[in-house]
Chain A
C-alpha cells in the first residue's frame, strides 16, 4: 500500500492514453469466448471477459477495480460514475481493504454499489498483521457495515509481507481461524491472502496447506525476471487450483511505464495474459478507467512469443528491482502492518 503518488500516476496515464482504443482488436478472443458475458451491457466483442474464481463457482471479470484508488477520487459522485461505467463494460469485481484510507475506500465502494450488490463480487482484506482472530472478526463486521452488505464474496488476509507473518497467522488463535469461522458463519464465500514482498513468504503461507481459495500477488512483465512471483508462486497456485489475483501490473505507481520499460497497454496486456483469474488495477479517474478498458474490454491475450519478447525486453530494468519498489523498499508497506511489527512509520522511513 502506498500513498501520495496519485499525481505521478495521473501524469503517466495522460501520456499513456495516447495509445488509444485503435490498438484494441475488434475480434473475439479465446478468453472472451469462454467468458460469461451476461453482466456486460455492451456487445460481447467489447466487454471485459469473465473467468472462474478458482473452484469457488464465482465468476469474476478479468480486470478488477482496485479499492485504494477509488478512495482517492474527488468525491462520491466521481466514484459512482466510475463504478457504473466499469460495470457497464463488464467489470464486476471490486477490491478493497479494511485499512484503505482508514475505511473511506470501503464506504465509497459501499455507496457506489447501492442497488447493485447482487451483480458485484466484493472482496475486502483484513488487517490483523499478526494479531488474533478476535481482531479479525471485529474488522470483518466493520468492513461489512461500511460496504453495506451482509456477506463478502472474498475475504483475504492483507499484506503478508513480513518474514514471521505466516507463523503469526497460523498460530493458535490467529487470523487463519477467523477465515474459517467467517466462512462457516456464511459471512464470506471465499478466503485468501495477499502480499507484495517476497515469493518465499507466499510459498511459506501455501506450505501450511490451509484451504485458501485465492492468492493475490504482484504480476507484471518485470516480476517475470526478478524475485519472481510468476516463476515461483503462480505455477504452485495453479497446481493447487487456487484462483490467482494479479496486482501491480504497472509497478505499483506506474514506474514501469513512466521509466519507459513498457507501455501501459503492453504491461496490462502482459499481466492479463497470465493464467490468473483477475488483474486488479487501481482507478481513480474516468480517464484511467477508459485507458484500462482499451486493453481489458475485448481482451486479446498475448501469445507466448509476445510475452517472452516483453520479458526479454524488460530484463535489464527488472534485474535489481528498481521499478518494483514494493519488493525492495519499505515504501509500499502499510501503516497498520508497520505498527503491529514495530517498524518505523512511513514518515520516519519512507523507503
Chain B
C-alpha cells in the first residue's frame, strides 16, 4: 500500500471476522459523481489512494453509472491496492436482475471482482421479506460469492434501525452492514443504540455513513464542525466511516482527521451527544430517516411510490432515457 510520505498513516481495521483490513476512512462514491469533471474525479481517487484510503464505496444507481465509471478510471493501475465495494439496486426485485446489475458494475469499475457487494437502500418495511424470498436478491449474493465475483456481501440502508434488525433476523450470512452513524443518530431512531452492538456481537463488519448527516447541514448551521462530526463517527466501534468526497479541499480536510487518527474519549463523545440533543430529538437533521425524498428513485419505482420529478436523481434518470425509446437507460 502506498502512503502519503508527508503524513502519518490512516489506521487499518480488521474487516469483520476475515483477515482483510481496510482504512478507517472510506471514500464515498455518490459525491464523486458531483466532482467538477472526470479528470478531477480521477485525480481525487488517485490522491485518496496515495493518502492511505483503501476502502472505496459505490453503487449501481449513483448518477446513472457515472460514479462507477469515474471510479473505475481513477483506480486504473491501483485496483490491487484497494478494497472495492459497490451496491446492487433490486429493491425487492429478482435475483436475475441483481446478477445483470453486477455485470454492469464490474464493467464500469473495470474489474473482474468486487471485494464487497451490498444490497442498496434497505428502506421499506417489507424489504427484508422481498430480499429473502425465493428468487430474491439473497440468492444473487450467494451465487456471486460462489462464482468468485464478490469476496464479501452485505446490505445498507439509512431509514430505520428496526428494518436493519429485520434483515439480520432473516438469518442470511452477511459479512458487512452499512448504516448512518453520527452524533445526531445517537439519540433519534438510533442505529448506534439498536444495531451497532448487535453487529459487534455477531462479528459483522460495520460501515458507518453520513458522518456529517448526508450533506453537512449541522456544520453549515454551526452546530458542530466537520472535524468533530467525523471524529465522533470514526470513534465508534466501526470498521470504516464512509464520507463523500467531491473536491480536493474536502479530501484534504478528511485526510487531516484520518491520518494518525486519534479517537475521541468517551467523555468527549458524551459531551457532543449532549450538545446536539435538542436538535437531534425530532430528526430535523436526519431527514433520510423521515422522508421519501431521500430514498432512491429506483427504490421508489420498485415499490410503486410516486417519483419526485424535482429530484436530481429523477432528472438524471429522465435525461439518460431521452430518445432511446427504452423505459430504462442503457447501461455500459
Asked whether any CB of chain B lies closer than 8 Å to the CB of A163, the reply is: yes
Q: How far is the CA of A349 from the CA of B288 in the complex (A)?
A: 12
Asked whether any CB of chain A lies closer than 8 Å to the CB of B216, the reply is: no
Interface-forming stretch among B12-20, B49-57, B303-311? B303-311
Asked whether any CB of chain B lies closer than 8 Å to the CB of A181, the reply is: no
Asked whether any CB of chain B lies closer than 8 Å to the CB of A231, the reply is: no
A321 touches B284 (CB 8 A): no
Q: With CB as the reference atom, state the residue of chain A lying closest to B311.
A: A351
Q: How far is the CA of A322 from the CA of B302 in the complex (A)?
A: 11
Asked whether any CB of chain B lies closer than 8 Å to the CB of A38, the reply is: no
Asked whether any CB of chain A lies closer than 8 Å to the CB of B202, the reply is: no
A167, A227, A322: the one contacting B304 at CB < 8 Å is: A322
Are A329 and B189 also in contact (CB < 8 A) when A226-B125, A320-B125 are? no
Are A321 and B124 also in contact (CB < 8 A) when A349-B287, A351-B293 are? yes
B125 touches A164 (CB 8 A): no
Q: With CB as the reference atom, state the residue of chain B lying closest to A350.
A: B308
Asked whether any CB of chain A lies closer than 8 Å to the CB of B126, the reply is: yes
Asked whether any CB of chain B lies closer than 8 Å to the CB of A208, the reply is: no
Are A349 and B188 also in contact (CB < 8 A) when A163-B281, A227-B125, A320-B125 are? no
Q: Is the interface of A mostly helix, strand, loop or mixed?
A: loop
For B126-138 the 0/1 string (1 means CB < 8 A from A) is 1101000000000
Q: How far is the CA of A325 from the CA of B304 in the complex (A)?
A: 12
Q: How large is the interface on A (under 10, 10 to 19, 20 to 34, 35 or more residues)?
A: 20 to 34
In chain B, positions 275-301 with a C-beta closer than 8 Å to chain A are 279, 281-284, 287, 290-293
Interface centre among A167, A227, A342 (most CB of B within 10 A): A342
List of B residues within 8 angstroms of A349 by Cβ: 287, 291, 293
Q: How far is the CA of A80 from the CA of B279 in the complex (A)?
A: 45
Q: How far is the CA of A329 from the CA of B292 in the complex (A)?
A: 5
Q: With CB as the reference atom, state the residue of chain A lying closest to B310.
A: A350
Are A164 and B282 also in contact (CB < 8 A) when A320-B125, A320-B303, A351-B308 are? yes
A321 touches B125 (CB 8 A): yes
A161 to chain B, nearest CB (A): 10
Q: How far is the CA of A164 from the CA of B287 in the complex (A)?
A: 15
List of B residues within 8 angstroms of A162 by Cβ: 282-283
B277 to chain A, nearest CB (A): 10
Are A330 and B290 also in contact (CB < 8 A) when A164-B281, A164-B282, A322-B303 are? yes
List of B residues within 8 angstroms of A319 by Cβ: 124-126, 129
List of B residues within 8 angstroms of A328 by Cβ: 124, 292
Q: How far is the CA of A42 from the CA of B83 in the complex (A)?
A: 76
A345 to chain B, nearest CB (A): 13
Interface centre among B127, B189, B282, B291 (most CB of A within 10 A): B282
Q: With CB as the reference atom, state the residue of chain A lying closest to B189.
A: A163
Q: How far is the CA of A227 from the CA of B162 in the complex (A)?
A: 12
List of A residues within 8 angstroms of B287 by Cβ: 330, 343-344, 349
Asked whether any CB of chain B lies closer than 8 Å to the CB of A341, the reply is: yes
Q: How far is the CA of A331 from the CA of B189 in the complex (A)?
A: 20
Q: How far is the CA of A321 from the CA of B126 in the complex (A)?
A: 9
B289 to chain A, nearest CB (A): 10
Q: How far is the CA of A165 from the CA of B129 in the complex (A)?
A: 32
B124, B126, B283: the one contacting A163 at CB < 8 Å is: B283
B187 to chain A, nearest CB (A): 10
A218 to chain B, nearest CB (A): 15
Q: How far is the CA of A227 from the CA of B124 in the complex (A)?
A: 11
Q: With CB as the reference atom, state the residue of chain A lying closest to B159.
A: A328
B308 touches A342 (CB 8 A): no
List of A residues within 8 angstroms of B303 by Cβ: 320, 322
Q: With CB as the reference atom, state the residue of chain B lying closest to A316.
A: B126
Q: How far is the CA of A208 from the CA of B51 in the complex (A)?
A: 54
For A309-351 the 0/1 string (1 means CB < 8 A from B) is 0000000000111100100111100000000011110000111
A330 touches B281 (CB 8 A): no
Q: How far is the CA of A163 from the CA of B284 in the complex (A)?
A: 10
List of B residues within 8 angstroms of A351 by Cβ: 291-293, 306, 308
A211 to chain B, nearest CB (A): 26
CB-CB nearest 4 A-B residue pairs: A319-B126, A164-B281, A320-B124, A162-B282
- Given A328-B292, A329-B292, A331-B292; 12 other pairs, CB 8 A cutoff: A163-B281, A163-B282, A164-B281, A320-B305, A321-B125, A322-B303, A330-B287, A330-B290, A330-B292, A349-B293, A350-B308, A351-B306
Give the interface of B toward A (CB within 8 A). 124-127, 129, 188-189, 279, 281-284, 287, 290-293, 303-306, 308, 310
* Cβ contacts A to B, 13 pairs, < 8 Å: A163-B189, A163-B283, A319-B125, A319-B126, A322-B304, A328-B124, A329-B291, A330-B291, A330-B293, A343-B282, A349-B291, A349-B293, A350-B310
Give the interface of A toward B (CB within 8 A). 162-165, 167, 226-227, 319-322, 325, 328-331, 341-344, 349-351
